[in-house]
Amino acid sequence: MSLDLAYLARMAQRGAFTRVVVARAQGSVPREEGAAMLVWPDRIEGTIGGGALEYAAVEKARKGLTGIEKIPLGPAMAQCCGGAVTLAYETFDASSVARIAGDWHARPLGRTTNPPLALTRALSRARDRGETPPMLIGDWLIERVTAPATPIWIWGAGHVGRAFVSTLAPLPGLAISWADSGVERFPETTPEGVTPLIAENPADLVPLAPSNARHFILTYSHALDLELCHRLLTHGFTGLGLIGSASKWVRFRKRLGMLGHTAAQISRIACPIGDPTLGKHPQAIALGVATGLVKELTAAQAATERGTRAG
């Protein structure tokens, strides 16, 4: 139930698209309120649950449908879910994305041009009390505008780095920077929205990272890994994960201590990263690390929203 402006602006670079979002969900349905997909004439990004519902929505979006559509899944789609969904269809391009401002974006998707009193009151409670308004009031769609993208820095373009980037790149709300020592280290095609950074010594790139970035060190060199840990501990970060074994981490803790870092500082580094029960295949490591990151970001967002409501 949010609009990621950085993500939408990036998607608009491909051309105008129709965004289809689940604005209301009742009973048993394929996806929750806020689930969305973007539809171009030749491609789709995201999903509202697949199956007959999504197929029909894609066809309608490509035919230019805009507005609100209420769908009882049993009678209309012959689906056994038994629930009902209300879909909102809205066209975006670069200029319309750029015009979105404020914490909440409310707009009519029907014939109504004047906001109803219920909408005005809901937005007032959202801004004054932190109450989350319903996503749909009449034919007005209301969505929170997300905070700036979370900066993610991935150090190393080897097998694990590539697997990790391919896993994270489709997720909204992330600004991914990918660093290594040469262009030949990267795949021929970099995922959309990922910024490659190249330096003979990648550790020299550390000053470019914002202090609130989350870092994942996955390079081919233990010496480079250690230098990155050392520089990042001095530079500052929100999160830092290091790939490696338990024995590697014992050595690194000792060496980082010798470089002047306190035990409390060193303990902020997570090593080894990933879920060892998933195995050592690059995709398995990437899956474990990405799952942990998504859980962390989701928990942080929930804590922020609770604090907003409390305030």
Per-residue pLDDT of the chain (311 residues; tens, 9 = 90+): 578 888 898 899 899 999 999 999 988 888 899 999 999 999 999 999 888 899 999 999 999 999 999 998 865 555 556 689 999 999 999 999 999 988 899 999 988 889 999 999 999 999 888 888 999 999 999 999 987 788 999 999 999 999 999 999 988 788 899 999 999 999 999 998 899 999 999 999 999 999 999 999 999 999 999 999 999 999 999 999 999 888 999 999 999 999 999 999 999 999 988 888 888 899 999 999 999 888 888 887 777 665 554 55
How is residue 16 written in tokens? 């105008």
Domain boundaries, the chain: 2-145, 150-298
E strand or H helix at 59? helix 51-62
Assign domain 150-298 one CATH number from 3.40.50.1970, 3.40.50.880, 3.40.50.300, 3.40.50.720. 3.40.50.720
Residue with tokens 């900066």: 151
Residue type, 229: C
How is residue 12 written in tokens? 């608009």
Instruction: Give the other-Cβ count within 10 Å of 208's Cβ.
Output: 13
Instruction: Give the other-Cβ count within 10 Å of 161's Cβ.
Output: 26
> Phi, psi (5° rounding) for residue 144?
-70, 140
CA distance 243 to 305: 32
Cis peptide before 272 (omega within 30 of 0): yes
User: 101-139 burial by CB neighbour count: b if 16+ within 10 A, else e?
Assistant: eeebbbebbeeeeebeeebeebbeebeeeeeebebbbeb
Helices then strands, each counted (H, E), the chain: 10, 15
Using CA atoms, how far residue 287 sits from 78, 166, 215, in Å, is 35, 10, 16
Residue of 24, 134, 105 whose CA lies nearest to 69: 24
Q: Do 150 and 175 meet the contact criterion of CB atoms below 8 Å apart? A: yes
Q: Do 197 and 205 meet the contact criterion of CB atoms below 8 Å apart? A: yes
pLDDT of residue 74: 67
Burial of 3 (0-12, 13-18, 19+ CB in 10 A): buried
Q: Do 173 and 146 meet the contact criterion of CB atoms below 8 Å apart? A: yes
> Phi, psi (5° rounding) for residue 61?
-60, -40
pTM: 0.62
Residue type, 257: G
Identify the bridge partners of residue 107 per DSSP, sorted by sequence position: 141
CA distance 124 to 127: 5
CA distance 23 to 70: 10
pLDDT of residue 129: 86
CA distance 185 to 165: 14
